[in-house]
Structure 1
Amino acid sequence: MRLVPWWTLLSSACAPLVLIGGWSVAALLEGPAYDPATQTISVLAAYGASGYWVMTPALFALGVCHLLTARGLRPAAFAGRVALGGGGFAALVVALVPPPSSGGSLRHGSVAAVGFTLLAVWPVLAAVRGASAPWALRPGPSLAASALMGLAALWFLIEMQQDDGAIGAAERLVTAMQALWPFVVVASCVRRPYGDRPRG
């Protein structure tokens, strides 16, 4: 018997696919006026954007994927599962409160910031000790994952302060890392027999 159900592997694998696929298709629909290096993903999900009908469902699907993965990732520490699920819920809310076609949105930005934070800290909160722990849930890899996401988020914050900065590239790096790491964790669990489940 496996540590995680089969559908957890499916949900975690779909998360980066729907996110990256969504922003890629939405950017194509926006045409050459949209610059993915200097413009955020939120621009694609804004009211009136050509890619709105693609990016909004993609964000919603991302949230569902994270919620399902959090539910099935039984070997992870409970706090980490809660943080991953919280990040998924934040993605659902981001999809439901898109920014306006021009200007910023405090609601959208606040929810997105909460989601970024939860998805950055969940790896270290999910860590478990013990030789039988899946490698991606051990403290070392978990701390490294959170640290890398934190550095990428710092780059994003720095780019936000710059005129014509690479804010889009920074945001894509952060979100891609956060969408991919659950799959890495689940893949490290999937072949371990249930009897080897780490305790604590």
Structure 2
Amino acid sequence: MWIVPWWALLSSGCAPVVLVGAWMIAEQLHGPGYEPVTQTISLLGADGAAGQWVLNGALIALGVCHLVTAWGLRAASLAGRLALGAGGLAAIVVALSPEPTNGGSLRHGFVVGVGFTLLAVWPVLAATRAKGPPWALRPAASITATALMGLGAASFLIELQGHGAAGVAERVLTTAQSLWPFVVVASCLRHARSS
């Protein structure tokens, strides 16, 4: 019951590597005018940015990783899998609707907000009350993951509105959101081996 296919480990493991690698490469392509502490990742993928193709290509790859992981993570509840998959679709839509070079975009901001929300709530939606689930699908672990991601999102919004360390807050949040599917899949595989 708790078995997940090996390719779900591959797709979930690629997600954080693709995301972090892409923003690091896009930062290098952008040059010294970009400040990663205070500026958002979206600026690296904005229309006309030097690393736009890198970041937006990586967001599409990230979305595909989440979709594949959601498909293979049969140990999680259906609601959680749907939220993870929808979060993956949101990442793809973000890539297809980059920010303009100057100013913001309501559509881009809305899709980012929806994606952050879906990826924050999927852990609690994926939890199962079945007997003996893997630790990452237990209610306590799932609630903790969702609460921490919610706090991370709140921190990002506060920093963004206060013109503070929004770039740092966003990177911490997106890294956690891209890493949690891997943690869940790994816990399922470990649980299946020990059973």
State if a TM-score over 0.5 links the two structures: yes
Structure 2: distance between partners of 1:77 and 1:61 = 24
Structure 2: distance between partners of 1:68 and 1:95 = 18
C-alpha deviation, 1:162, in angstroms = 1.1
Structure 1: distance between partners of 2:54 and 2:17 = 13
| Equivalent residues of 2:2, 2:134 under 8 A apart | no
Q: How does 1:42-121 map to 2 (within 5 A)?
A: 42-121=42-121
Structure 1: distance between partners of 2:100 and 2:41 = 13
C-alpha deviation, 1:112, in angstroms = 0.6
Determine the structure 2 residue equivalent to 1:132: 132
| Equivalent residues of 2:2, 2:75 under 8 A apart | no
TM-score by length of 1: 0.94
| Equivalent residues of 1:124, 1:139 under 8 A apart | yes
Structure 1: runs of 5+ lacking an equivalent: none
SS across alignment from 1:132: coil
Q: How does 1:132-151 map to 2 (within 5 A)?
A: 132-151=132-151
TM-score by length of 2: 0.96
Q: How does 1:144-163 map to 2 (within 5 A)?
A: 144-163=144-163
What is the Cα-based RMSD across aligned positions, in Å?
Answer: 1.4
C-alpha deviation, 1:180, in angstroms = 0.2
Structure 2 residue identity aligned to 1:155: S
| Equivalent residues of 2:63, 2:89 under 8 A apart | yes
C-alpha deviation, 1:2, in angstroms = 7.0
C-alpha deviation, 1:131, in angstroms = 4.1
Aligned residues: 194
C-alpha deviation, 1:132, in angstroms = 1.9
SS across alignment from 1:191: helix
User: Taking structure 1 as reference, are residues 132 and 2 closer, same or farther at Cα in structure 2, changes over 3 Å only?
Assistant: closer
Determine the structure 2 residue equivalent to 1:3: 3
The runs of at least 4 consecutive aligned structure 1 residues that moved more than 4 Å come to: none
Structure 2 residue identity aligned to 1:172: R
Of all paired residues, the percent bearing the same amino acid is 65
Determine the structure 2 residue equivalent to 1:173: 172
| Equivalent residues of 1:136, 1:142 under 8 A apart | yes
Structure 2: distance between partners of 1:2 and 1:125 = 16
| Equivalent residues of 1:2, 1:191 under 8 A apart | no
